[in-house]
Amino acid sequence: MLEKITPLILTYNEAPNIERIFQCLTWANKIVVIDSYSTDATLEILYSYPQIEVFQKKFDSFASQCNYGLGKISSEWVLSLDSDYVLTDELIDEINSLQAETDINSYSVRFKYCVFGKPLRGTLLPPRKVLYKPEKAIYQDDGHAHRVVVEGNSATLSGYIHHDDRKPLSRWLWAQDHYMVIESKKLLETPNSELSLGDRIRRQKILAPFIILFYCLIIKGGILDGWHGWYYAFQRVLAEILLAIHLIEAEKFKP
């Protein structure tokens, strides 16, 4: 099955992360990377791997970048990954054992969030469709994030992907601030009746940071992960505070 798969990766200044993902993709004959004109050592690292094909496209949205990448895939299957993902050996073995000739067009994978390489007990990351037939798929923007819509039947694999982002705090803050501008616009423009319970709480601004802190530490067991769990909880609380500030700014300072 691995011979029928092309990994697809988006990059922008991912030098702190990018080599770890390639260490678990040594089986791939070709890897397609869509780079948004990185200015750090990302391109130098990419060009050091002969099986990597690099295409550059100015970033406008995650969905647009991914759909552009799908147009560069000629294999039967695509494995869509972020630059800070690490595939476990168990997941690679499970993918390799899949029967290609089935009525399944896509597979979802669960995540374990890592703090400086340590997998946590729980995460806010939902399962994501990462392995699918490219001709059946199209990406759509969803707030600051994106999701792939794949025709036909889907299944969930039992193996995990580790989400292990080791970019510095300054870069994380820059990204979260950018994401929360988009997220606040989505929350304010979507009718309340169409929002999930979680998004309705986030739209109220005040409660969400406290709920996230309790959820990460108690419900997800982060308090048992020591300082790694507290670190993740503080990250998520800070992200919710940034969102609340952008919501207030958008509501109170309308042009």
Distance of CA 83 to the CA centre of its chain: 9
Find the domain containing 21 and state its range.
2-163
- Where a domain ends, among 102, 135, 163? 163
Same domain, 102 and 61: yes
Q: pTM of the entire structure?
A: 0.87
Collect all residues with Cβ–Cβ distance below 8 Å to 115 and sequence separation of at least 6.
Answer: 225, 228, 229, 231, 232
Q: Band of the pLDDT at 123, cuts 50, 70, 90?
A: confident
Residue 149: beta bridge partners?
Answer: 138
Q: Band of the pLDDT at 177, cuts 50, 70, 90?
A: very high
Give yes or no for residue 68 having a pLDDT over 70. yes
Same domain, 51 and 153: yes
Same domain, 29 and 47: yes
Collect all residues with Cβ–Cβ distance below 8 Å to 155 and sequence separation of at least 6.
Answer: 104, 106, 107, 108
Same domain, 159 and 182: no
**Which pLDDT value is given to residue 144?**
67
- Where a domain ends, among 124, 145, 163? 163
Q: Band of the pLDDT at 146, cuts 50, 70, 90?
A: confident
CATH code, 150 = 3.90.550.10
Contact of 11 with 42, CB cutoff 8 Å? yes
